[in-house]
């Protein structure tokens, strides 16, 4: 009996995301097949979007107040501080951010300020205001981690590239390089473990960012209706767009764009890192003393 309960609970956990998508699909089907007029469809979609926002708001609120999640955050922060300090101490750390990413982020922050300022003067929307504040708080933390991860890979890639350039024409690799490479491979392993840990425990947050696309689509439909069908003057339409629809429609897309840019750059740097590690391993095997115990340790770390 107990084993059956355990199996049932595991199945429910596995089907949790599937059930969410089924509920979402059911709501969309009801909206477009069972509701005839546009007002009813807008009302149904508005309820659906509000339900998504409340789901994300509840998850963020529990994440910020749960004891287990605080332990997860403490472990992540300790690892981030250790890796950053070690790279700065052993190799030096150069921080870099792309201009395109900075421009997108600046544009998004301007829109966020406009939207929060509008919500601040509407006390009936205080839950939505808290939702955007907490989401932005977590988004900044996740973005900082991605930028740090990107800079970790870039700095380690630079070290490996310099090693390959300096020792390509040498007939023998000295032992001091072995110590530096040993530390580098240990850091690389630790970075991979941290990244897997974050992906396993914070996987819900990127999903919450992507769920914002649904609210963006809904607000875009309201924008189109306001532009095309509303009978107000042009000035009134612009005020309505800037005050209510534009920012909630664009900000989720910019969030996804920022996360997508960082993820793409991280994958590119990680692939470059793997290529450098293969080249360094081949070079060490060819030009180092095969009986050196440090070389054996490095090979075990790489494998």
Q: Mean pLDDT in the chain? A: 75
**49 — phi, psi (to 5°)?**
-65, -40
Residue 8 lies in a domain: no
Split at pLDDT 50, 70, 90, the class of 237 is low
What is the extent of the structural domain holding 265?
54-302
Split at pLDDT 50, 70, 90, the class of 13 is very low
Residue 293 lies in a domain: yes
pLDDT score recorded for residue 21: 55
The answer for residues whose C-beta is within 8 angstroms of residue 85's C-beta and 6 or more apart is none
Residue at token pair 């546009």? 38
- Using the 8-state DSSP alphabet, how is residue 291 labeled? T
Residue 44 lies in a domain: no
Residue at token pair 């009801």? 30
Per-residue pLDDT tens digits for 28-44: 555 555 555 555 555 56
Residue 10 lies in a domain: no
Residue 21 lies in a domain: no
pLDDT score recorded for residue 266: 92
Split at pLDDT 50, 70, 90, the class of 149 is very high
pLDDT score recorded for residue 15: 43
- Using the 8-state DSSP alphabet, how is residue 123 labeled? G
Check residues 40 and 84 and name the one with the higher pLDDT. Answer: 84
Residue 287 lies in a domain: yes
Residue 147 lies in a domain: yes
Residue 24 lies in a domain: no
Crossing angle of helices 246-287 and 99-120, rounded to 10°: 150
Give the tokens for residue 247.
């920012």
Whole-angstrom distance, CA of residue 77 vs CA of residue 32: 46
pLDDT score recorded for residue 191: 92
Per-residue pLDDT tens digits for 86-115: 988 888 888 888 888 889 999 888 888 888
CA angle 20, 208, 223 (to 5 degrees): 95
- Domain count of the fold of the chain: 1
pLDDT score recorded for residue 60: 80
- The rounded percent of the chain whose pLDDT value lies above 90 is 16
pTM: 0.76
């Amino acid at each position: 009996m107990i084993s059956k309960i355990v199996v049932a609970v595991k199945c429910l956990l596995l089907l949790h995301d599937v059930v969410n998508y089924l509920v979402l699909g059911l709501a969309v089907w009801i909206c477009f097949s069972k509701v005839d007029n546009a007002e009813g469809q807008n009302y149904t979609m508005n309820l659906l979007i509000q339900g998504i926002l409340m789901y994300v708001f509840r998850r963020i609120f529990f994440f910020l107040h749960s004891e287990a999640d605080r332990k997860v955050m403490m472990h992540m922060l300790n690892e981030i501080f250790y890796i950053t300090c070690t790279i700065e101490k052993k190799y030096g750390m150069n921080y870099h951010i792309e201009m395109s990413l900075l421009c997108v982020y600046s544009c998004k922050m301007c829109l966020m300020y406009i939207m929060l300022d509008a919500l601040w003067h509407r006390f009936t929307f205080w839950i939505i205001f808290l939702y955007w504040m907490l989401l932005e708080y977590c988004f900044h933390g996740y973005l900082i981690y991605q930028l740090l991860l990107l800079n970790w890979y870039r700095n380690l890639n630079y070290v490996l590239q310099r090693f390959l350039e300096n020792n390509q024409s040498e007939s023998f690799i000295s032992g001091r390089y072995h110590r530096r490479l040993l530390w580098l491979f240990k850091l690389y392993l630790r970075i991979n473990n941290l990244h897997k840990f974050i992906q396993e425990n914070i996987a819900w947050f990127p999903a919450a960012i992507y769920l914002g696309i649904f609210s963006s689509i809904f607000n875009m439909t309201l924008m189109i209706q306001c532009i095309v069908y509303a009978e107000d003057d042009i000035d009134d339409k612009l005020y309505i767009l800037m005050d209510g629809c534009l920012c909630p429609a664009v900000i989720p897309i910019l969030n996804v764009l920022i996360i997508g840019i960082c993820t793409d750059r991280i994958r590119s740097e990680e692939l470059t890192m793997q290529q450098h590690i293969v080249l360094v391993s081949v070079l060490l095997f060819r030009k180092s003393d095969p009986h050196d115990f440090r070389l054996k340790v490095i090979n075990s770390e790489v494998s």
